Amino acid sequence: MTSKRPLSPLSAHALLHVTVFVWGFTAILGRLISISAVPLVWYRLLLVLPVMAGVLKWKGLSLRTDPKRQWVLWGIGVLVAAHWLCFYGCIKYAGVAVAVLCLSSLTFFTALLEPLIFKRAIVVGELLIGVAAVGGVALIVKLETNATPLGLFLGLASSFLSGLFGTLNGVWSRDEPAERVTLHELSSGLVVTSLAFTVWDFVPPWALSDSDLLWLGLLAIVCTVFPWLASLKVLETLSPYTVALAVTLEPVYSLVLAYILFPDEEQLTWRFYAGAAALLGLVLLNGWLKRLNRPPANEASAGAA
C-alpha cells in the first residue's frame, strides 16, 4: 500500500475551500449545457477517465489495488454516478436554485451517516449545525421557486448520495493515491451511466454544439479532475462531516454566478445575504469547535477535524 503524508489541518481547510469554490461552477455549467442529465454525466465521465489514467501513468502509479478495496471503490463509483444524475436532473427539471438548495441538506445527511459508517455515537452538535446549515441555505433561495415534486426528490436524493459516497470515501480512500481511487470509482460510474442508455436517448458526439463541447470540457477537466483529487486529499486530514459543512457554501457561489449569468431567472434578495452570512458563521463555528476538541498529537493521523 502506498504511504501518504496528509496535509496539515490549516492546509487542508484552505484546499477544501478552493475546491468548493470550483465546485460552485458545476451547477452553472450544467445549466449551460443543452443536453439532458444522462448524456451530460456520461460525457463528463468519458472525458475525465483518460485524463486520470494519464495522470496515474505520469506519476508511475499502478492501476491495481487490493481486490476487496477495488470492489468497494467500484460500488462507491455507482453512488457517485447516481448523485450526478440526480443533481443534473434536478437542474434540468427545477433549476439551479432548487438543486443547490437541496444540496444544503448534505450536512444533515452526513451528520447521520458518518457515525453509522465510522461506528461512533452521533454528535448532537454536528447534527444541530447540519440542521442550521439547511435553514441558512433555505434563506438564500426564494420561496417561490415553484419546484416540482420530481425536482425536489432529485435534489434531495442527490444530497443524500453525496453524503453517502463522501463518508465512504473518508474510510476507503485513505492509504490509496487519490488518482487511483478516482479512476476506479469513475470507471464504474461510466459503466452504470452507459447502462442508462437502454432507456434513455443517446446523444452522439456530432450532435453536440460547439458550446456544449466547450462547457463539457471545462466541467470534466477544471471542475472534476482537480476538485475530485483535492477532495480525496483533504479527506486524509478532515472528517467527511467537516467537508460536507464546507460544501454548504457551494450554493452561495453557484447562486452568485447564476445571478450574474442568468439575471432574469435567479434574483438575489435579503435571503441570500442572510443565508450566506449564516453559512459562513456555521463553517467558522465548526472549525473553532474542532480545534477546541482536537487531540494535540494524533489529529492528522486519525483524520478527524
pLDDT above 50: residue 198: yes
What are the domain boundaries of the chain? 9-302
Distances, alpha carbon 30 to alpha carbons 155, 212, 252, in Å: 14, 10, 16
Which residues, other chains included, contact 75 with Cβ-Cβ below 8 Å and sequence gap of 6+? 188
Q: Smallest Cα–Cα separation from 44: which of 248, 36, 245?
A: 36
Answer for the pair 249, 195: CB distance below 8 angstroms, yes or no.
Answer: no
- The pLDDT of residue 146 is 56
pLDDT above 80: residue 212: yes
Which amino acid is residue 226, in one-letter code?
F
**What string of H, E and C letters represents the secondary structure of 113-161?**
HHHHHHCCCCCHHHHHHHHHHHHHHHHHCCCCCCCCHHHHHHHHHHHHH
> C-alpha 156: how far from its chain's center?
13
- The pLDDT of residue 270 is 64
Distances, alpha carbon 97 to alpha carbons 47, 56, 244, in Å: 27, 36, 19
pLDDT band of 202, cuts 50, 70, 90? very high
At 214, give phi and psi (nearest 5°).
-65, -50
- The pLDDT of residue 47 is 93
pLDDT above 60: residue 143: no
Mean pLDDT across the stretch 59-77?
Answer: 86
Mean pLDDT across the stretch 38-55?
Answer: 92
- The pLDDT of residue 218 is 93
Sequential DSSP letters for the chain:
----PPPPHHHHHHHHHHHHHHHHHHHHHHHH--S-HHHHHHHHHHHHHHHHHHHHHHTT--S---HHHHHHHHHHHHHHHHHHHHHHHHHHHH-HHHHHHHHTTHHHHHHHHHHHHHT----HHHHHHHHHHHHHHHHHS-TT----HHHHHHHHHHHHHHHHHHHHHHHHSTTS-HHHHHHHHHHHHHHHHHHGGGTS----GGGS-HHHHHHHHHHHIIIIIHHHHHHHHHTTTS-HHHHHHHHTTHHHHHHHHHHHH-TTT----HHHHHHHHHHHHHHHHHHHHHHHT--TTTHHHHT--
pLDDT above 80: residue 225: yes
Other beta carbons less than 10 A from residue 2's beta carbon = 10
C-alpha cell, 158:
442527490
Mean pLDDT across the stretch 283-295?
Answer: 61
- The pLDDT of residue 194 is 95
Mean pLDDT across the stretch 2-20?
Answer: 80
- The pLDDT of residue 79 is 95
Which residues, other chains included, contact 23 with Cβ-Cβ below 8 Å and sequence gap of 6+? 223, 227, 247, 250, 253
Mean pLDDT across the stretch 194-199?
Answer: 92
- The pLDDT of residue 193 is 95
pLDDT band of 207, cuts 50, 70, 90? very high
Top pLDDT among 242 and 84 is at: 84
- The pLDDT of residue 159 is 86
Cα–Cα distance for residue pair 43/227, rounded to 1 Å: 18
- The pLDDT of residue 289 is 65
- The pLDDT of residue 300 is 32
Q: Smallest Cα–Cα separation from 122: which of 162, 72, 130?
A: 130
- The pLDDT of residue 238 is 85
pLDDT above 80: residue 76: yes
Q: Which of 20-29, 203-212, 252-261, 285-294 has the highest mean pLDDT?
A: 203-212
Top pLDDT among 124 and 29 is at: 29
pTM value is 0.79
